[in-house]
Every structure is written in structure tokens, then in C-alpha cells.
């Protein structure tokens, strides 16, 4: 039997797998604005038409940018999804900093309740960032190191929140704050994966607030 070209025993070459991570992150104001417009278009099409029919070309058209510009950042729709998740985490961290950590004059109870509100009850335009549709696609982009980094960043911000509670007579240990985050974030994800109703999620959030406030009050 001939070797090399035409060998019947040679398996066909597998098609190259699309890169599932963004190529770069925007740093200049104009580039940040462009990428945010791409994300907004991505979400509109995704929620309107579903993941299976979404294409990078359609996103570029909806965002009003050249397809080459989109490919400078996102070589595939999986890379676009990955970038969007990262963007969502950064937006959540920024909100926690501006709305929970930085404000002065808040009691520790107000700060804790606001912390849970921001993390667990996002405003309507932000719900797609961590909604059921996103969790359903997580397997396409999730890597252990990225999951751990996101957790560590969120845990660090929760620790900052409690450090800002200057009216607490005693600060909780960092490991305790991490455990609270794990409990709250795990419950929030289960609300989404189980697709609980809005009323059920609000009841869960109210009970979670009560339990955490009671636990923090025991630090006195």
C-alpha cells in the first residue's frame, strides 16, 4: 500500500476548533465604547434569536462595526461569550465598589443588605449577564482557573465591604466572609438553574438577607 497522500488508512483531518477566548482587551476609550456596543448587540440578538442562530457577522451588523473590527477582539462567538462573561464580572465588581464599599454614612446592616441586593437582584437590563441562558452555555467557555479567579475577585470585594463596616465592634474573619459568599452565590445560581419564579427568588433573597444580618449581628 502506498504511503503518504491517498493512504486509505489516514483519518481525515479534523477542522480547526474556533478560538474560544478573546484576542485582546480594549484599553482606549474609543475601543472600550466599541466593545461595549458589540456586547449590547450580542445580547440583543442572543435573547431575540437564540444561541444556535447567532453569528459574529450578525453581531457586527447590529452593532454598526466592521466585521474585521469585531474579529480584532473576538474570533468566534464563543470568544464573544467569554468576553461578555468577563465584562459582566467586572461590571458587578464596579457596582459593588461604587454602591456598597465607597458610600459613607451607611450602617453595617444597610451595607450588608445593599451587598446582597447588588449581587442577587440585578436591575432589568443586567439580568442577562448572569441569567439562565448564560449558565446553560457556561460549559462552552468555563475553565477551572477562570472560575477560581472570578471567585477570588468577588470574595476580595466582599471582604472590602465588611472592612468598610466601621460600626461593627468586631470584624468577621476573611474565611467567614468567603463562606457567606459561597452560600449566597450558590443559592443564587440554584435559583437560576431551577428557574424559580420571580416571587420565589424574591422570597429567597429576603430570607437570605435576614439570615446574614442575624449572623453578622452576632459579632457584637
Contact 101, 157 (CB under 8 A): yes
Q: What is the pLDDT of residues 170-191, one digit of tens each?
A: 999 999 999 999 999 999 999 9
Q: What is the pLDDT of residues 33-81, one digit of tens each?
A: 999 999 999 999 988 888 999 999 999 999 999 999 999 999 999 999 9
Provide the terminal-to-terminal Cα distance of the chain, rounded to the nearest Å: 83
Contact 100, 161 (CB under 8 A): yes
User: Where is average pLDDT lowest: 4-13, 14-23, 129-138, 142-151?
Assistant: 4-13
- Grid cell of 134 as nine digits: 448564560
- Grid cell of 102 as nine digits: 465607597
Q: What is the pLDDT of residues 115-161, one digit of tens each?
A: 999 999 876 656 666 778 888 888 888 788 888 999 999 999 999 99
Q: How is domain 18-75 classified at the CATH fold level?
A: Arc Repressor Mutant, subunit A (1.10.10)
Q: Which CATH class is domain 86-217?
A: mainly alpha
Residues 102 and 98: their CA atoms lie apart, in Å, by 5
- Grid cell of 64 as nine digits: 454598526
Residues 106 and 118: their CA atoms lie apart, in Å, by 15
Residues 40 and 123: their CA atoms lie apart, in Å, by 15
Q: What is the pTM of this model?
A: 0.83
Give start-end residues of each CATH 1.10.357 domain in the chain.
86-217
Residues 142 and 182: their CA atoms lie apart, in Å, by 18
pLDDT band at 5 (very low <50, low <70, confident <90, very high): very low
Amino acid at each position: 500500500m502506498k504511503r503518504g497522500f491517498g493512504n486509505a488508512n489516514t483519518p481525515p483531518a479534523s477542522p480547526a476548533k474556533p478560538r474560544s477566548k478573546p484576542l485582546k482587551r480594549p484599553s482606549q476609550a474609543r475601543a472600550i465604547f466599541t466593545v461595549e456596543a458589540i456586547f449590547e448587540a450580542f445580547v440583543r440578538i442572543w435573547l431575540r434569536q437564540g444561541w444556535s442562530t447567532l453569528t459574529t457577522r450578525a453581531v457586527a451588523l447590529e452593532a454598526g462595526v466592521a466585521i474585521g473590527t469585531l474579529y480584532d477582539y473576538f474570533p468566534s462567538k464563543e470568544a464573544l461569550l467569554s468576553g461578555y462573561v468577563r465584562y459582566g464580572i467586572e461590571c458587578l465588581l464596579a457596582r459593588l465598589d461604587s454602591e456598597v464599599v465607597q458610600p459613607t454614612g451607611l450602617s453595617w446592616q444597610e451595607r450588608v443588605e445593599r451587598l446582597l441586593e447588588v449581587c442577587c437582584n440585578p436591575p432589568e437590563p443586567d439580568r442577562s449577564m448572569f441569567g439562565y441562558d448564560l449558565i446553560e452555555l457556561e460549559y462552552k467557555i468555563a475553565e477551572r482557573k477562570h472560575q477560581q479567579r472570578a471567585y477570588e475577585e468577588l470574595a476580595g470585594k466582599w471582604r472590602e465591604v465588611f472592612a468598610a463596616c466601621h460600626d461593627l465592634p468586631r470584624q468577621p474573619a476573611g474565611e467567614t466572609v468567603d463562606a457567606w459568599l459561597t452560600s449566597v452565590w450558590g443559592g443564587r445560581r440554584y435559583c437560576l438553574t431551577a428557574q424559580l419564579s420571580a416571587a420565589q427568588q424574591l422570597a429567597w433573597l429576603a430570607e437570605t438577607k435576614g439570615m446574614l444580618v442575624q449572623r453578622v449581628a452576632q459579632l457584637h
